[in-house]
Amino acid sequence: MSALHFENDSSNEPFPLFIHRDIYQIGICSFFMFTIIIVSILGNIAVILAIYKTPTLKEDVSNIFLINLSTADLFSAIFVMPYSSLALISDDWLFGTKWCSAQCALNYCCIIVSMVTLSFISIDRQFVIVYPLQFSSIMTKKRIYILISYTWISGVAFAIVPLFGRWVVYDYWEIVCAIAWDSYRDKGGLTYVIVAFIVCFMIPAIVMTICYIRIYREVTRHYKRRLEHQQHHIGIEQLNEQRKILVSFSVIVLMFFFCTTPFCVTKVIKIFISSDAIHNWINVMATYMQYLASATNPFIYGIFRSDFRTAFLKILSKTRRNSNQVHHANETNNKGTKTGIVCYKDDQVPQLTPTSLFIYNRKFDSVNTARNLNIGNEIKYI
């Protein structure tokens, strides 16, 4: 039995037989939800930082798609998942009907943007592999921004329809605000779900499958051609490489279907048959699988790439180095030596007067004190 909070019960009866999650189920589900949220936030921030902090990654126009994907997944981890987590812990929705509608819209928008962006990434990679000479003229930055705009336009368009129709309620077993499937099946809900399922799930899934099949065929053809001109032991190494590529492409496609299919298919079943047709824990699983996509996408599309791993290591190394410098500076300060910064007025050699000499964290009490010190990029004083 699925529970839809904020939905009027036609029988005007309470829910004495309604099955709630027990404390152990809530604890286990909360742990996994919290883990997904943390991994999603850290992973997507890492991908975005790596692209912006690394010139070679930033110059690659294809990575604009990854920024868009990470942004949508990050929004979901910040604005959608935490409220599901709090509703799970409290065993009820505590944030009112308006935020319930907002959460539903944000959830649908982020899911659609993510799925459509994944299909565009597969198209982009197909052009890179199959049409390398034409790639730069086909996938221009302008066209990429147009495609990204489409992802958000379609996401917002499908997200606001349930708001205007006032179809949104809190689904206890989905642990998220969603459409009241049974109540609005004949009031536009059926048409909405069919169109959304085709446009936002079926078409991206078909596009991804076709693109990665073509990529694999092209890679296979390329390796076969190389094997004809190479020694046998080198050919074995190339075959091993080919297997790795096949595995990586398989992971991409399988993870897409693994994470998104339960969410999309359960909605179709609910709108065509009934909400009661889906077992309670299948509803829970469908929500978790969809949230899991936001946590796995940064790894599949970014962190597993060698150039991204190099960028992450550089950022971590720089962060560690800066941390060590700060620690060293603090130790120096504790020994009685402090460091300040001189700011010069109008970029001229300073005349040491109270109006032109300022020092971070402390001002000299007199100009004579300043003259007796070694003035440069750093000023040390006791």
Element housing 112 (H / E): helix 96-130
Give the pLDDT of residue 135. 87
Query: Which mean pLDDT values do the consecutive 10-residue runs of the chain (382 residues) have?
Result: 43 50 92 96 92 90 93 96 95 93 96 95 90 88 95 96 92 93 86 94 94 86 73 57 68 87 92 89 94 90 77 81 64 54 46 38 37 35 29
| 3-state secondary structure (DSSP) of residue 343 | strand
Other beta carbons within 10 angstroms of residue 93's beta carbon come to: 23
pLDDT at 215: 87
CB-CB contact of 285 with 133 (8 Å): no
Residue with tokens 């800066």: 322
> Considering only CA atoms, which of 268, 94, 284, 11 is closest in space to residue 173?
284
Domains of the chain in sequence order:
4-304 (1.20.1070.10), 337-381 (no CATH)
Angle at 152 between CA 150 and CA 156, to 5 degrees: 120
Listed in sequence order, the residues at least 6 apart from 62 whose beta carbon sits closer than 8 Å to its beta carbon are 121, 124, 125, 128, 139, 144
Q: What's the pLDDT at 3?
A: 44
- pTM (predicted TM-score): 0.77
